[in-house]
Structure 1
Amino acid sequence: MVHIKNNNPKDFAIELRKGGYSYSEIKKFCPVPKSTLSYWFRDIKLSEPQLTRLKKKRIEAAQKGSKARILKTSKAIEEIQKTSAKDVGKISKRELWLMGVILYWRERLLNKNDSDLKKGIRFTSSDPYLIKLFLKWLSDIGGIKNEEINFDIFMPEDKKRSLNEFVDYWAGVTGFTKGNFSRYYLQKVKAKKPKRNSKKSVHGLLRVRVKASSMLARQISGWINGINEILLG
């Protein structure tokens, strides 16, 4: 507890500093600019215990400030996400059509199967939401029935004993029976250092295959060409 014995702000501030108090603590009793305090304290040397205490207080203050900023940022992000979600509203059929075309366009570019349309519709992702979106697109836009769809699972070879878990997961995501998951592929695992905060799916990749869909694939290709023409003028 600080007892004020000196009415002279400078002398009182110097007494506090010699006692090991920090600038912020001293400013509570002597509301003067920090530059003034620095000038007053220029010849004062603190002991090791005093320096250790001040260092500890700085760390605690930084941690407290960091937690407060993180909490404030988290609340702001949560509010933005809630507000943004409301902005979407109802998705029209045309909007769904365009979303699916763009999604499939990206698939073709990633898998370099731009000219391989004979195999029909194929879409691969580890993201359950993208899989659900594409299945809805196939149903609502492509007019594809469930019996026309099959799935392939790609999983790390060191997880082959967990095949049933992979099937259960993707069956739950898609709403299809296990009988629709007819093919399984084991992928070699490359030795790499794990990335921090990696969002890579632990459930492998799922490929959606549509039977006898080469004509729909060509139709999508035409839609993509149409979008290109509009964008390029």
Structure 2
Amino acid sequence: MARVLDKQKAVELRLRGYSYSQIKSELKISKSTLSGWLKNYPLSEERIKELTSRNEKRIENYRKTRQRQKEEILKKIYQKEKAEIFPLSKRDLFIAGLFLYWGEGAKTKDAEVSLSNTNPAMAKFFVYWLENSLKIDRNKIKIKLHLYKDMDIRKEIDFWTKELKFSESQFTKPYIKDSNKSSITYKNGFGHGTCNITIGNAILMKRVLMGLKSIEDYFNLKYK
């Protein structure tokens, strides 16, 4: 919880025009940590000019230059990988879905294909896979949200209905965790709870499980 408050305070100071050195001095937090927290909060050119210390100006300009360089490198890599991956063939899509399910899908129930995740893009892919690879009628899909008690429940339901393009009638009653979202300190959260997507279909689950078993058997044999 203290870490969350430190980050909030650091962002607040940054928005008030503090440099990394000033925030470090104020909060006693390392610059490497601040760099991760504040990478999306660069100082304006005007504010940099206002900084009285030449060293601080140099550091801020250096950080901005490095950030631009990093963004350019990532942009080039992104374009290269996108061209390599897309378009997906039907086989590509089916296998990608199996690997996703291998890592993230529920495997304890014999008659349900189900996946839970906080990432809206991953949830969208799973729905797309169900519809296009496994030929599932999207009207038979059920959605259950796992939310925290300090969340705006109505707002989160509206968010997921809009993201996934589902009717609210397909959402079951949300599960409300007896803890606060603000107490969660893990990184890379998406801030809208966990979305569970389920289709009840025993034959489909057998197909998915046997597909996963074939993958496991293949790689087990490769390394005998």
TM-score using structure 1 length: 0.66
Query: Which of residues 82, 86, 91 is equivalent to 1:85?
Result: 82
Match of 1:154 in 2: 146
- Bigger shift: 77-86 or 172-181? 77-86
Q: What do residues 85-106 of structure 1 show as CA deviations (whole Å, max 9, x unaligned)? A: 2222210111111111111111
Partner Cα separation in structure 1 for residue 185 and residue 175 of structure 2:
24
Match of 1:97 in 2: 94
Show the 5 A alignment for 1:6-21. Answer: none
Show the 5 A alignment for 1:134-145. Answer: 134-145=126-137
Q: What do residues 193-226 of structure 1 show as CA deviations (whole Å, max 9, x unaligned)? A: 6648x32122111111112x12211111111111
How many Å apart are 1:67 and its aligned residue? Answer: 2.2
- Residues 59 and 184 (structure 1 numbering): CA distance in 2 closer, same or farther, change over 3 Å? closer
Match of 1:210 in 2: 199
- Residues 78 and 229 (structure 1 numbering): CA distance in 2 closer, same or farther, change over 3 Å? same
- Residues 138 and 200 (structure 1 numbering): CA distance in 2 closer, same or farther, change over 3 Å? same
Match of 1:6 in 2: none
Query: Which of residues 88, 97, 116 is equivalent to 1:124?
Result: 116
Show the 5 A alignment for 1:59-70. Answer: 59-70=56-67
- Residues 214 and 169 (structure 1 numbering): CA distance in 2 closer, same or farther, change over 3 Å? same
How many Å apart are 1:79 and its aligned residue? Answer: 2.4
Match of 1:189 in 2: 179
Partner Cα separation in structure 1 for residue 157 and residue 55 of structure 2:
53
Partner Cα separation in structure 2 for residue 190 and residue 58 of structure 1:
41
User: Quick check: 1:120–1:215 contact (8 Å CA) kept in 2?
Assistant: no
Bigger radius of gyration among the two:
1
- Residues 58 and 203 (structure 1 numbering): CA distance in 2 closer, same or farther, change over 3 Å? closer
Q: What do residues 24-65 of structure 1 show as CA deviations (whole Å, max 9, x unaligned)? A: xxxxxxxxxxxxxxxxxxxxxxxxxxxxxxx94344333322
TM-score using structure 2 length: 0.68
The AA in structure 2 aligned to 1:227 is I
Give the length in aligned residue pairs: 170
How many Å apart are 1:190 and its aligned residue? Answer: 6.0
The AA in structure 2 aligned to 1:164 is R
- Residues 201 and 56 (structure 1 numbering): CA distance in 2 closer, same or farther, change over 3 Å? closer
- Taking only aligned residues, the RMSD between alpha carbons, in angstroms, comes to 2.3
Partner Cα separation in structure 2 for residue 195 and residue 201 of structure 1:
12
- Residues 90 and 64 (structure 1 numbering): CA distance in 2 closer, same or farther, change over 3 Å? same
Unaligned runs of 5+ in 1: 1-54
User: Quick check: 2:148–2:181 contact (8 Å CA) kept in 1?
Assistant: no
The AA in structure 2 aligned to 1:156 is Y
The AA in structure 2 aligned to 1:176 is F
Q: What do residues 139-180 of structure 1 show as CA deviations (whole Å, max 9, x unaligned)? A: 112111022111101100122xx2221111111111111111
Q: Secondary structure at the match of 1:171?
A: helix
Match of 1:43 in 2: none
- Residues 72 and 144 (structure 1 numbering): CA distance in 2 closer, same or farther, change over 3 Å? same
Match of 1:220 in 2: 208
The AA in structure 2 aligned to 1:202 is G
Partner Cα separation in structure 1 for residue 88 and residue 130 of structure 2:
15
Q: Secondary structure at the match of 2:147?
A: strand
User: Quick check: 1:117–1:218 contact (8 Å CA) kept in 2?
Assistant: no
User: Quick check: 2:150–2:180 contact (8 Å CA) kept in 1?
Assistant: no
Show the 5 A alignment for 1:43-58. Answer: 56-58=53-55
Partner Cα separation in structure 2 for residue 79 and residue 210 of structure 1:
39
